Amino acid sequence: MSINFQKNGLIAHIKNSSISYILEVIDDKYLINRYFGKTIREYRETNSFQYFKRGYNTQHLSSIENLSFDDFPFEYPTRGHGDYRIPAISITQATGIDFIDLTFKEWRILNEKPKISGLPSTFSEEGETETLEIICEDISAGIRVYMYYSIFDNLGIIVRHQKIENFGKQKITINSAKSLSLELPAKDYDFLSLYGTHAKEANVSRFALHRGIQKIESARGASSPQHQPFFALVSPDTCEESGEVYGFHLIYSGSFSAEVEKDQFGNVRAQMGLNPDNFKWSLESGEIFETPEVVINYSNNGLNGMSQNFHKLYKSHLIPKKFMNQERPILLNSWESMYYDVTLDKIEQQSNIAQELGIELFVLDDGWFRLTNSSKTSMGDWKCNEKKLPGGINKVAEIIHKKGLKFGLWFEPEMISKASNLYSEHPEWALQIPNYPMVEGRNQYVLDLSRKDVQEYIINIFHDYLKDGQIEYIKWDMNRPLTEVNSLALDFGRKSEIWHRYILGLYYVLETITSTYPNVLFEGCSSGGARFDPGMLYYTPQIWTSDNTDAFDRTIIQSGYSLLYPPIAMGAHVSITPNHQTGRITSMNTRYQVARLFNLGYELDLSKCQDYEMKEIAEQIAESKRNRKFIQYGDFFRHDVPNDNYSMWSTVNSDKTEAIVIIFQKFYNPIKSHCLFKLNYLNSDFDYCEKNTGKIYGGDELMSVGLSIPLIKSDFHVFAFHFEKIS
């Protein structure tokens, strides 16, 4: 890991054993990108500029003959001086003119990775990162931009963000400030992203990049299930196990924009950051604005190579340190067994059975504070309904703890019901636009988290429940997008800042609560995956993956999210059949096998299980506990499969002496049955014993020849293998 300067300080080479990122200053003022990709020993300018004289173009004084800004690889591009492609930053000066022209001033190496004020970001210990700080400025506009590039030891990762300073005497307005802008050379790429909707998240979209602009976004106030704040540019031949990948992921939980422009010459500009459609920021003289951090990921080992970079980064440099190496408890969530109709008798019954089965954490979901058994009341009050639960939450905690279980509680703290005491007392606390109707979602409005009084109210609610140590887990939910996004407390000139200020308020609340109660395990949730993003992962080391617990759909959802997130971050529950979301019938074994390599939990009415099902669940939990550490610390892989009737996953430990392999047969289909499944990522020199059968296999044979499996006359069947190295 190093940052070196060449060519009398005009070239900066950021590198480690995996990647190189090279920047150059041209004519003492233009900062450009020269290379990002597989590491090289030394940069000797083999990709020198080859320009020619063009018509219908702009001319610029430069040491490069026939220089054209039309395809110049600017590192942080702006518009208005001859580059007509998508800009990374847009500023309105005090004169009302939309223009900024950044020129290079200086760069230096930082031994510490800088923190970002008010925003989550990756962190590192001493010696794990180096950071290049670059300063560019527009003296006429009084604007200075600080650009930060941090590289991690032995990861194909660079993280970037910017700091924008108004050193002039007049107020300016930031119209757009992207966290990422990256130039890539002219060649064919596929655009890969994750799209979806509620209960059908993280579907893979892949298409050939074409001329023009391709864009994904969220304008919903949350990162959204519609588009993950991620995209990748991949070589057309890239698969799970080989090929070149450039992946980009934004550490932010609000509205975002990600776009790629392929110009007339085939050059590619990739950008990602705050969504400019619902963002403007007034910057007074002397003030600073910081952009969210973006993760830039390169792999020449296919999509799994990209995934391993993301997984290792997030497990070691993003999730709360307390939970990096802490085994996660197997939980029972009350939702699908009780819904809103919670009672002490039901809790007593479910926790009794949970204790017998070996479950470690009981989570009381929605319903405990509602005046009725519906979603229509009480949001924001957070007073336990003691007609439902005599003795309140303390009594529930007492029941659970007497069983030797940990106790968790569900909240949706960002919302407020019209039928609530809080709304009667503080109607101004809801997001709203005067003289326009307020739109409900799930019978609730959204609290204005940009307000300090609202932030402190939420913090105090959690203090009241967490201060006595009776609650070991919090499920933090958020069940609707934002509408009428206006704060009655913000001045006229700040109205366009509310979208971002809401997220800053959310982060302030989360930072305060999680740092005050570092031993409490927080799980993020937003109708499942509506806010599954790295920003939330910084505060909540696990996130509820989807409200859809159907095993068949979960193979797709969990595969999609595994492109980015380590399985330990994904909540995966075994639920009832027929499934409550889809009506699909799957076996108990299939439901377990699909969940077992992830953050395992259960969500069903245990009192309705048959004896044989209870025995099966107890065996599943015992097996999961035996393998829990191996699964949490192992490397997770998706596998290329012979046809689309199968999905295949594996978890392999770091020294490749143990592996669990899951092959999912979607449907009974004889035409697609003659398949061999190659177990890549083992050691070809080892011999392995398959623990369920006792058979011995060579690693080379498993990897090169592959396993055959029988055709099962059943839909949704899972084959599970557990391999261990033998002496």
Active site residues: 477, 547
CA distance 403 to 520: 19
* CA 557, chain centre distance (Å): 13
Query: CA angle, 341 as apex, 336 and 346 as ends, to 5°?
Result: 80
Q: How far is CA 224 from the centre of its chain?
A: 11
Amino acid at 298: Y
Residue in this structure with the two tokens 């760069």, named with its chain if needed: 107
CB–CB of 83/77 below 8 Å?
yes
**Three-class SS of residue 67?**
coil
Q: Kindly report the three-state secondary structure assignment for every residue of 62-102.
A: CCCCCCCCCCCCECCCCCCCCCCCCCCEEEECCCCCECCCC
d(CA 547, CA 325): 27
Of 647, 672, 669, 668, nearest in space to 715 by CA: 668
Task: Give Cα 431 distance to the centre of its chain.
Answer: 26
Q: Around 627, how many Cα atoms within 13 Å sit in the side-chain half-sphere?
A: 26
From 173, 225, 220, select the one nearest 194 (Cα to Cα): 225
Q: What is the DSSP secondary-structure string of 196-223?
A: EETTEEEEEEEEE--SEEEEEEE-SSS-
Contact 362, 351 (CB under 8 A): yes
| CA–CA gap between residue 695 and residue 590 (Å, rounded) | 23
Residue entry with tokens 């597989």: 38
